[in-house]
Amino acid sequence: MGCDGGTIPRRHELVKGPRKVEKVDKVAELVARWFYCALSQEKLRRPIVACELGRLYNKDAIIEFLLDKSPDKTPMESASHIKSIKNVTELNLVDNPAWSGDKESIKGDKYDDLQCARFICPVVGLEMNGRHRFCFLRNCGCVFSERALKEIKSEVCHKCGVPFQEEDVIILNGNKEDVEILKKRMEARRLKSKLEKKSKKSKSAGAASQQETSADSPGPSKAKNGKDCVNSSSGENRQIVFTKSSENGNPSVPGKVNKASSTTTKRSIADSEDKSEAYKSIFTTHSSAKRSKEECSNWVTHTAYYF
């Protein structure tokens, strides 16, 4: 069957050769990278941010991506390296006065010039349409063309005057080599920030431990050997030793002592005073005689009380 009706097959219909490699339209690729968000694939609108690898995003899309913590979240390769809003920089862009906008092409009866960009370089005046290499400063977010930075060499931003270094210059939508260099810088920068945070935490922990040890260290003890020195009314220094009561088994408290315990304490004090050489050398004979009279009177009163 076949070949009826006067059909003549051709060679390309019978012989199948190798498939042609599909080429990507360069103009369409530039438009997708410079006019649309790399995350949401929507048109870029202010505020516009850029990551440390030089990709352009809408700030609203980045915030929604970071707030989405659901398990069904689709992984995005273009934003996998963005962990917080601090990893992106808001760009300070300069509007192009020759750009008319999208209002005139709503009906579709006008030719859209894809080379006409919305933003330009404030120094040289080149349009940011992908035909020229552009970069931004990570410190301030100002955007310039690479030609402007090469022709006018300076260590200060041409627009706002913020100082910058060579590592702070990030190329927008660079090639593979540029992306690899920017990725190495990003990893080194994040590693350095982690080490600085760890050093700060260790220093704060060491300072807190020193404060705790200084607060817990005891001061000079006012009492020595568990005995309290009390100044009597006659100007004498006496050491009062608290003894245990035989009735309750609890240590006796001054002011609430039984009569029997008071007599024992007075006798022990009198014996210690007679035997100690310190009291004999310090006090005069007059004071000792007076003290012995008082003790004898106390002894007589106590014996009379018991008998």
- Count of alpha carbons within 13 angstroms of residue 17, beta-carbon side: 5
Structure tokens at 227: 């005995």
Does 9 fall in a domain?
Answer: no
171 pLDDT tier (thresholds 50, 70, 90): very high
**Does residue 150 contact residue 175 with C-beta atoms inside 8 Å?**
no
Q: What is the pLDDT of residues 271-304, one digit of tens each?
A: 555 555 544 444 444 444 455 556 656 554 544 4
21 pLDDT tier (thresholds 50, 70, 90): confident
Q: What is the average pLDDT across 166-191?
A: 92
- Look up residue 299 and give its amino acid: W
Residue 240 pairs in a beta bridge with 228
Residue 126: per-residue pLDDT? 92
Domain harbouring 61, CATH code: 3.30.40
What is the residue range of 37's domain? Answer: 26-99+113-191
Domain count, the chain: 1
Does 126 fall in a domain?
Answer: yes
Does the structure show a pLDDT above 90 at 94?
yes
> What phi, psi does 142 have (nearest 5°)?
-75, 140
Does 21 fall in a domain?
Answer: no
Structure tokens at 88: 């992106």
Task: Report the alpha-carbon distance of residue 259 to residue 58 in Å, rounded.
Answer: 93
Task: Report the alpha-carbon distance of residue 89 to residue 184 in Å, rounded.
Answer: 18
pTM of the model: 0.59
Does 243 fall in a domain?
Answer: no
Percent of the residues in the chain that have a pLDDT greater than 90, as a whole number? 33
Does the structure show a pLDDT above 80 at 152?
yes
Structure tokens at 111: 């030719």
Task: Report the alpha-carbon distance of residue 193 to residue 204 in Å, rounded.
Answer: 17
**Does residue 158 contact residue 144 with C-beta atoms inside 8 Å?**
yes
- Look up residue 19 and give its amino acid: R
